[in-house]
């Protein structure tokens, strides 16, 4: 997997590009203004009172008026640039766009790929796959407090407000893996509420979507079978869903294809067997305050669950 980047200065889509143009325009304008103002200040400091001796009121008025004029022109220029960027950013939107529901929770992202046929809907968590070059409508909701959806490489921020739906259009032109995160303080683990956006070629995306629609494969070994039993009859199923089994909790991330995801606990740790074991054993050590409790599984049960979860590709 390529290195994950998170930067508004490396735009991967048209909107982020116009935002970064505006940023660079403001940066260079302000840099020039800064240099000029500091230069003028240094000249004023170094000049002696008796030197030149020009206390001509008129020339003073002229220079102040000129500076005021330049300031007004620059500010209006930035205002126009800002309005133009705002319009460019909001210009996306088409009926053929892909619709994805993203729901904010303390502290993870619930992702649903909408489809009029319920069996074709796809649920995942903390990971967003989008096809390159296609417009995507992200519909944002929140289950608890205000969050904010922010993938700097693709767009600006959009808040998730409890009790209402907001929406944001995205388009990625460059394939890649982009990191996003919650940008509105939402509680203790706000900093560990990240999501990964994977922009990939249309074919790859369709293949991924088809794979995600499959239910969990049946366990192949006795250990995996035991793992499935623990998941179904133990504490996991109270909150998590594994499609194709009786585990159907809806308050925590869907685990049907957890082995395909690159991170666990909303970007807190990489998705390896070791981290997963640590997370299941003592979530409050890795992410204090997270809503997942210590499950108190025995060592055998833990190994069986891990063996089973690794098959959920």
Partner 1 sequence: MTRWLALLLVAMLPLAACERESRRYRELPAASSRASSTRVSDLVPGQPASSDLVLSPYQENAYGIAEGKRLYSAFNCNGCHAMGGGGIGPALMDSKWIYGSTPDQIYSTISQGRPDGMPSFGPRVPSQQIWQLVAYVQSLSVQVPRDAESGRNDDMNARQPELRLDRLPPRNTGHR
Per CB under 8 A, residues contacting partner 1 are 144, 233-235, 237-239, 249, 251, 282, 284, 288-291, 293-296
H or E element, residue 306: helix 299-309
The answer to whether 97 and 133 have CB atoms below 8 angstroms apart is: no
The answer to whether 195 and 267 have CB atoms below 8 angstroms apart is: yes
In the complex, least distance from residue 296 CB atom to partner 1, rounded to whole angstroms: 6
State both tokens at 37: 């103002």
Query: Residue 310's CB: how many other CB atoms inside 10 A?
Result: 16
Q: Is the preceding omega at residue 310 within 30 degrees of 0, hence cis?
A: no
Of the two residues 70 and 238, which places its CB atom closer to partner 1 in the complex?
A: 238
Of the two residues 7 and 251, which places its CB atom closer to partner 1 in the complex?
A: 251
Burial 91-104 (b: 16+ CB within 10 A, else e): ebeeeebbebbbbb
Of the two residues 39 and 289, which places its CB atom closer to partner 1 in the complex?
A: 289
Of the two residues 215 and 296, which places its CB atom closer to partner 1 in the complex?
A: 296
Of the two residues 235 and 278, which places its CB atom closer to partner 1 in the complex?
A: 235
In the complex, least distance from residue 279 CB atom to partner 1, rounded to whole angstroms: 14
Bridge partners (DSSP) of residue 199 are 130, 176
The answer to whether 134 and 175 have CB atoms below 8 angstroms apart is: no
Of the two residues 94 and 251, which places its CB atom closer to partner 1 in the complex?
A: 251
What are the start-end ranges of the E strands in 215-280? 263-264, 269-270
Rounded Cα gap, residues 310 and 123, in angstroms: 18
In the complex, least distance from residue 241 CB atom to partner 1, rounded to whole angstroms: 13
């Amino acid at each position: 997997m390529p290195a994950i980047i998170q930067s508004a200065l490396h735009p991967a889509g048209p909107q982020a590009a116009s935002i970064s143009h505006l940023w660079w325009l403001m940066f260079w304008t302000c840099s020039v203004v800064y240099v000029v103002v500091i230069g003028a200040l240094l000249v004023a400091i170094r000049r002696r009172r008796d030197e030149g001796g020009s206390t001509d009121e008129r020339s003073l008025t002229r220079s102040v008026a000129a500076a005021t004029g330049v300031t007004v022109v620059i500010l209006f220029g930035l205002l126009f640039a800002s309005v133009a960027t705002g319009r460019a950013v909001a210009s996306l939107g088409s009926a053929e766009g892909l619709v994805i529901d993203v729901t904010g929770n303390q502290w993870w992202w619930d992702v649903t790929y909408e489809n009029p046929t319920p069996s074709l809907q796809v649920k995942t968590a903390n990971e967003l796959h989008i096809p390159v070059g296609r417009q995507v409508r992200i519909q944002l909701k929140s289950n608890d407090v205000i969050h904010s959806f922010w993938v700097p490489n693709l767009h600006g921020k959009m808040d998730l407000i409890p009790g209402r739906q907001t929406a944001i259009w995205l388009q990625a032109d460059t394939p890649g893996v982009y990191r996003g995160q919650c940008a509105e303080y939402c509680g203790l683990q706000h900093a560990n509420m990240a999501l990964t956006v994977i922009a990939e070629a249309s074919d790859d995306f369709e293949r991924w979507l088809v794979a995600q629609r499959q239910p969990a494969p049946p366990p192949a070994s006795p250990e995996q079978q035991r793992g499935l039993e623990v998941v179904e009859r133990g504490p996991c199923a109270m909150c998590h869903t594994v499609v194709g089994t009786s585990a159907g909790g809806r308050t925590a991330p869907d685990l049907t294809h957890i082995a395909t995801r690159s991170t666990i606990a909303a970007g807190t740790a990489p998705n390896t067997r070791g981290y997963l074991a640590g997370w299941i054993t003592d979530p409050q050590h890795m992410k204090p305050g997270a809503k997942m409790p210590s499950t108190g599984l025995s060592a055998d049960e833990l190994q069986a669950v891990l063996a089973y979860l690794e098959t959920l590709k």
